[in-house]
Structure 1
Amino acid sequence: MIASLKWLQNYVDISIPVQELVTRLTMAGLEVEAVRNLDAQLQQVVTVRVESIEPHPKADRLHLCQVADDQRTYRVVCGAPNLQVGKVVPLALPGARLADGEILKAVEIRGEMSQGMLCSQRELGLGDDADGVWLLAPDTPVGIPVAQVMGDGDVIIDIGITPNRGDCLSIIGIAREISAICGSPLRYPDIALSEGDADIGSLSSVTVDDPVGCPRYAARIVQGVKISGSPAWLRQKLEAVGIRSINNIVDVTNFILMEMGQPLHAFDFDRLAENRIVVRRAGEGERFTTLDAVERVLFADTLLICDGRNPVAIAGIMGGLDSEIKADTTRVLIESAYFQPQCIRRSSKKLGLRTESSFRFERGVDPAGLVRALDRAAQLMVEVAGGEIARGRIDVYPHPIEPPVLRLRVDRTNRLLGTRLKSSQMAEVLRRIEMQVKETDSNCLEVVPPLFRPDITREVDLAEEIARLVGYDKVPVTAPQAAVEAASFDPHLRARQEVKFLLQGAAFFEVLNYSFIAEESIQRLRLPVGDPRLSPVRLMNPLSEEQAVMRTSLVPGLLETVRYNFDHGNDDLRIFELSKVFSAIGGADLPEERHQLVGAMAGRLIPDPLYGGREEVGYVDVKGTAESILSMFYLEGVAFAVDEAAPYLDPKMMASVYCKGEYLGCLGRVHPEVEEAFDLKRAVYLFEFDFDRLFNLRSSRPLFRPLPKFPSVTRDMAIVVDAAVRVQEPLDYILELKEPLLELVDVFDVFKSEQLGAGKRSIGYRLVYRAADRNLTDEEVNAVHQRLVDKVLGKFGATLR
């Protein structure tokens, strides 16, 4: 919001220096982004009249211009397309400082000397118009500084307005804040209308078909106007805030826009079919040509202002080409309305059309102040264009908007702010910004905020207003009082940390992947139809198809990471991820979240070995890692089995892990089809565990176990069995016999040979015996061992090797 200090002083007395005013506005929440002293900035920019324009001899798009003030003539090179002989324009002389900070110098352009620069509004920092040279009013005196044209000694203040403060998108809105900050009374402009005999009801009517999109619509008619240029005072006001003067009628609507923050629209009344207004929604695909001569395709939720037959404006955004004010206009219908902010914001975004009007309607204008703005506009139009105001006004307001009634507790507000203000002090602060305040008791205020402050809806909003107007620097600084306590022990978190430490000690690196993945990556795992992992939770508004669903497994993300490393030359990998997966639950709003642990191994067993071989990782390495993880939880009854629980693993080199019949996870080599689907160029080995299930099945950790007092006795048993017999089966059978002296059973050898026979293999088991109360004799051990051997041979039809 650009504000002129001279314009502000019409409504409030400003007795403090500009720099102090800027600081206090910023501290009150209205951040001042720039301050420009026009008197100092524009002294080296003078008004001149264009006397001649000739083509540049060495440049097709440049011209040689003769411009003159009342004393001398200047030769200037210019390429502006709107330059015309006889026009009054600003000339920046050598030494002038432009808006971008550049100090102008006399320069030679394509062999021709330019003694200055003809400037646009943007180049002087006085507006956004950069389409050509700034054409000043024809009656502007030449040879005077532009600062004098704008008003001697004026200061332009550029204020950044936050989206919730639409009330400050006007000169009076800024003046109201200055009044509250400085304690000076606010002066509203005097409005006195002299109406004619013609009644507006006999001239026109307004029908609002959509009272939700347009809760209030008011109109006045001014007859007998004469379109011409605006008087100097009106041009200077608009130009000071960067608005180009057009004609006296349009300039009045722009003046009210900036003065009161109420967008108005002036229609040529005689160009309105049936001389009436209808407010309705557009039809889907309806076409309309706006003032900028662009035909636009409208949407079904676009609000339109229509006459008796056709649309004449897009409500709150831009008028139509056919109803604009022209040189022959004699009767004007002034529109002053309140449109639903969401409706205007949605239409402006869809149409890609942003205007000063839509910028204010999107933030909410004052529904109670639009009639005052309408009357002010009618008064000024008669003042600058002549004519007569029709008697009365049209005001369609079927459902008046009521402001909220808020309760402000003094003690709670003081606790929030850390202040010790009395209720009377709070009431006085709120009344400064035109809130109605009633003291119900010593600790409570009843507050009704004005309708131009739609952002005030809660008690805490009132507290914020008090803080910023009293001054944030007046709020005492106190140290927060908070008890410092140690976080409660989380065994699940501790278990996760210990697993991570274990894997990091085994040369694994932890990776963190996105929780959102592509649905296609889950389908690459060869999961059977009906597997719940194929029914992930879908995001309503995903950033891309690569992040469209929530992961039901960590495996796809880990394999994508493996491929990324392979593609970048890192072939020797040991990585893991311990994080959450998300499973959809029918009828539930939120998915089930479970922790899963997945690791991958690939490449050489020892990357870049200084000594030794170049062995590749294999099944035994991934199984050893998995066993190390299982040992951390002291699980009882762990068993490995070959089944189809993990279809993404190679059935020839995989195992599923169970504990007491409950599935814990799997390990093995990635299935060749999955390797191809993920474009993995070499073998990858995985282990995958349901971490929450591991944690729930954990056994208590033994803190101390006495060392055995008596020695152990070891015996080996090498049996020849069918190749179909798994190594685990005889081992489990031996343990099931529960021999009291048997302490440990382990596998020490698996051997195949033609001498054993076709379809046969030898498995060697090492059995450790020990008694807790005595030394064992060879005879005692041999008897027990022979008994176990006989049972195993009989059970599996085996022979000793």
Structure 2
Amino acid sequence: MNISWEWLTELVDLSNIKPEDVAEKLTLAGLEVDNISYNGSKGIILEISTTANREDALSIIGIAREISAVLDRPLILFKNKLPLKIHHQKISKNNKNHTYSIRGSITNITITHTPEWLKRRLKINNIEPINVLKDIQNFIYLKWAQHIDFFDSDSLGLNSSDKLDTSLKTGFRIRQEQLLKKNSQFITKNKLQNTTIHSSKNRIALARISTPAEYIATPKTTNLLLQVSKFNSPVVDSAAEVLNLYTQNIHSDKKNQKTIDLLDAYHECIFLITCLCFGSIQNTTYIHKNNYIYPYIKLPTQDIIFTLGSDFITSDNDLTSIQNISINILKKLRFIIWKEKQYLIIETPLDRFKDVSRGIDIIEEISRIHGFNKFTGTIPDCKKYGLKRIHHHRIIHIRSILRTVGLSEVIHSSLVERKYIEPIICNPVIKECHAIRSSLINSIINTYAYNLQQCNSPIEIFEIGRVFKYKNSQYEEAIHLCGMIGKGNNIRSKWQDNLRGLSWFEAKGIMEEIFERIGTRILWKPLDLSLDLYKEFEPYFFTASTSVLYCQNQIIGLFGTIKTPKFKLSVYDENVYGFEIFIDKMNYQLANTNYFKSYPKYPAVTRDVTVTIPCNISFHTVINEIQRINNPLIESVDLLNLYKNEIQYSGSKRLGFRIKYRSSSGTLTSETIENIENMLKCSISHTFTN
């Protein structure tokens, strides 16, 4: 935005202050001054960049208010107001699309030439003068960020005796007839709901989108109608998209002009028109909602002290003086404050609702006006150097293992669009990212699918990142490991066989190798539908081919086939598997794991043992029974096969185990091994068949 120094001196007392000083103060306060140019014909010009959250600084008045607060100089507002008789009218509660409107008329105007001072102000902002009415309209928008529409009353069939609150109405209706012209063609969209401005005789405009050219004021206009309206932006955007009409009005409406400056802008507009074009002022109607509840922020004084620290608080300042300093700063920024003993109750200005909604936002405003340069900018000397936690080294170890297995690491943002149970963010940066992720699997699947959509080969990926959940009325933060395995049809068992994808058990083998390298034992169990885990991950995994992973009777994650019909990954969807592991819980188990033992001097003896047990007894139960015996000669026990025969073994099944025996003191004999096997069979038979 280009701002004339001459114009600023008319709005703020800048005596004995240089443009460079103003630029430095504004930049420190958050409004960056990109350049100061000295132009002979245009004078001194400040080029100022505003941030997206500062809608209040999108006008000359907004910048002037900011300079007044930063420099602690008085603001010189528009004083030449004409005595207007304003008729107030309340908007119906049912009309949720209409925010406010102000309308008035001036009769018997005479179009004159635009004065040089007005032309100069417009040219500084690269706006070419057109005619005095259009130039006044652009000037008001530049100064106040308020767009005022000018209509020709004669073209609308209105006269000075008409009452504006009845002759001109704003309504929400279903358009089933021809209403507006675009490129000399009538627009016909059946059952399209739009906000319209209409008189008793004509439909004037499709609100904030388009107005027929025959109704707009021209240099030949003698009777002028002024209209300012604000409507529900989503309704206007939806209508513009359907009609394929994108105009300057829509762009200005997106700036969310507020009622805070509406009457001042209207007063100055009337004043300029009557001074430059003469004419007689007629009725003025202000339509608004007067039942708005203004939110407030309760800010403890201790929060200000704790956040801003000793650079803001001196030893002589007590709570009362801190409050007074804060109140003086906030009043400059047009906040309304009620002072209590231990805290401040603060009401935010209408044009600052979006970017100032929390106590920390208020503290930032205080520090901004106080001056960021007054706070310490040096890092204190560190005499002791800390060490990285064991947890950090474990994550590096896990990351290294996954890379050696062949997985590629990806990183996603923690800010996501809410789909299921993700916690909502109070002040999102953009609407599309208004939540924080509660799991990693959705982002992993989207990345995998996007890679395929770009006609790339399938990749196996993983991510280690933080997730956030809301449980028991509080937020919890954890570190998860998530990934996808499966590269399509790239496996052949025999040379003559066709290529096939990765099977579930082959993918399970990869996971077991990963856990073995990490150094933890994992127990695989079918997914229990009563678990909260099922409700959270049901959209992503097939229930029938999903297992829950346990470590010492604690759930640490799950593994299964990705539910691809929703995500449409590829033609090899059934060969794509995903997993999500809770690293924090797994690391807790790692802390109790023995990593090293002496290398055995004597050879191991491997024997296969078959036992018969009831069908309702799981493999893990038998393993636990063998481990309970705790024979020091048993080194490992693995399941070899499972056999069921309803005719021969009714209600029973046979399990084959491969047991490895080893002694640290000598070579084992057959007699010793047979004694151990008989003991195992007797214990299992006694435990599970009786």
Do the two structures share a fold, i.e. TM-score over 0.5?
yes
Q: Distance in 2 between matches of 1:405 and 1:553?
A: 37
**Counterpart position of 1:168:** 57
Match of 2:223 among 331, 337, 355: 331
Amino acid at match of 2:46: I
3-state DSSP of counterpart to 1:463: helix
Alignment of 1:255-294 (within 5 A): 255-273=139-157, 276-283=167-174, 288-289=179-180
**C-alpha deviations, 1:150-172, integer Å up to 9, x for none?**
xxx52232322223333333323
Alignment of 1:479-628 (within 5 A): 508-512=405-409
Alignment of 1:27-42 (within 5 A): 27-39=28-40
1:473 and 2:373 correspond = yes
Alignment of 1:167-566 (within 5 A): 167-193=56-82, 212-273=96-157, 276-283=167-174, 288-289=179-180, 302-316=194-208, 318-339=210-231, 353-355=246-248, 358-359=251-252, 362-367=255-260, 369-390=261-282, 392-399=283-290, 401=292, 404=295, 407=298, 409-417=300-308, 418-420=311-313, 422=321, 423-436=323-336, 447-454=346-353, 455-477=355-377, 508-512=405-409
Deviation at 1:579, TM superposition (A): 7.5
3-state DSSP of counterpart to 2:255: helix
Amino acid at match of 2:134: V
8 A Cα contact 1:200 1:221, kept in partner: no
Structure of larger gyration radius: 1
**C-alpha deviations, 1:51-87, integer Å up to 9, x for none?**
xxxxxxxxxxxxxxxxxxxxxxxxxxxxxxxxxxxxx
8 A Cα contact 1:499 1:629, kept in partner: no
3-state DSSP of counterpart to 1:10: helix
Q: Distance in 1 between matches of 2:395 and 2:198?
A: 67
**C-alpha deviations, 1:112-167, integer Å up to 9, x for none?**
xxxxxxxxxxxxxxxxxxxxxxxxxxxxxxxxxxx2xxxxx522323222233333
3-state DSSP of counterpart to 1:362: coil
Deviation at 1:220, TM superposition (A): 2.2
Amino acid at match of 2:269: A
Q: Distance in 2 between matches of 1:603 and 1:250?
A: 73
Deviation at 1:324, TM superposition (A): 0.6
Deviation at 1:294, TM superposition (A): 8.3
Q: Distance in 2 between matches of 1:485 and 1:603?
A: 48
3-state DSSP of counterpart to 1:32: strand
8 A Cα contact 1:336 1:373, kept in partner: no
**C-alpha deviations, 1:690-749, integer Å up to 9, x for none?**
99999999997568878999x88979999xxxxxxxxx9xxx9xx99x9999868999xx
**C-alpha deviations, 1:37-59, integer Å up to 9, x for none?**
321xxxxxxxxxxxxxxxxxxxx
Change (3 A) 1:634 1:233: closer
8 A Cα contact 1:513 1:557, kept in partner: no
Change (3 A) 1:622 1:393: closer
Deviation at 1:440, TM superposition (A): 5.2
Deviation at 1:255, TM superposition (A): 2.0
Deviation at 1:222, TM superposition (A): 1.0
Change (3 A) 1:300 1:460: farther
Change (3 A) 1:344 1:2: farther
Q: Distance in 1 between matches of 2:444 and 2:47?
A: 56
Structure 2: state its 5+ residue gaps.
414-418, 425-429, 433-438, 468-474, 494-504, 526-541, 560-568, 610-618, 639-655, 683-690
Q: Distance in 1 between matches of 2:330 and 2:577?
A: 67
8 A Cα contact 1:208 1:280, kept in partner: no
Amino acid at match of 1:281: F
Amino acid at match of 1:388: S
**Counterpart position of 1:653:** none
**C-alpha deviations, 1:531-570, integer Å up to 9, x for none?**
xxxxx989999x9xxxxxx998999999999999x98799
8 A Cα contact 1:408 1:459, kept in partner: yes
Deviation at 1:264, TM superposition (A): 1.2
**C-alpha deviations, 1:411-430, integer Å up to 9, x for none?**
43233224127344333333
Moved more, 507-516 or 16-25: 507-516
3-state DSSP of counterpart to 1:227: coil
8 A Cα contact 1:410 1:444, kept in partner: yes
Q: Distance in 1 between matches of 2:510 and 2:298?
A: 69
Deviation at 1:331, TM superposition (A): 0.8
Count the aligned residue pairs: 580
8 A Cα contact 1:638 1:658, kept in partner: yes
3-state DSSP of counterpart to 2:174: coil
TM-score (norm: length of structure 1): 0.53
Change (3 A) 1:381 1:411: same
8 A Cα contact 1:342 1:362, kept in partner: no
**C-alpha deviations, 1:278-325, integer Å up to 9, x for none?**
112253677654799786678956433222244323434554322111
Change (3 A) 1:260 1:603: closer
Q: Distance in 2 between matches of 1:408 and 1:745?
A: 64
Change (3 A) 1:331 1:411: same
Change (3 A) 1:647 1:510: same
Q: Distance in 1 between matches of 2:227 and 2:212?
A: 14
Q: Flag the structure with higher helix content.
A: 2
Deviation at 1:661, TM superposition (A): 14
**Counterpart position of 2:612:** none
**C-alpha deviations, 1:242-271, integer Å up to 9, x for none?**
222222222222222223332211111122
RMSD across aligned positions (CA): 6.9
**Counterpart position of 1:95:** none
8 A Cα contact 2:180 2:212, kept in partner: yes
**Counterpart position of 1:103:** none
Higher relative contact order (CA 8 A, sep 6+): 2
Q: Distance in 2 between matches of 1:604 and 1:688?
A: 24
3-state DSSP of counterpart to 2:106: strand
8 A Cα contact 1:634 1:700, kept in partner: no
3-state DSSP of counterpart to 1:304: strand
Q: Distance in 1 between matches of 2:27 and 2:552?
A: 69
Change (3 A) 1:685 1:781: farther
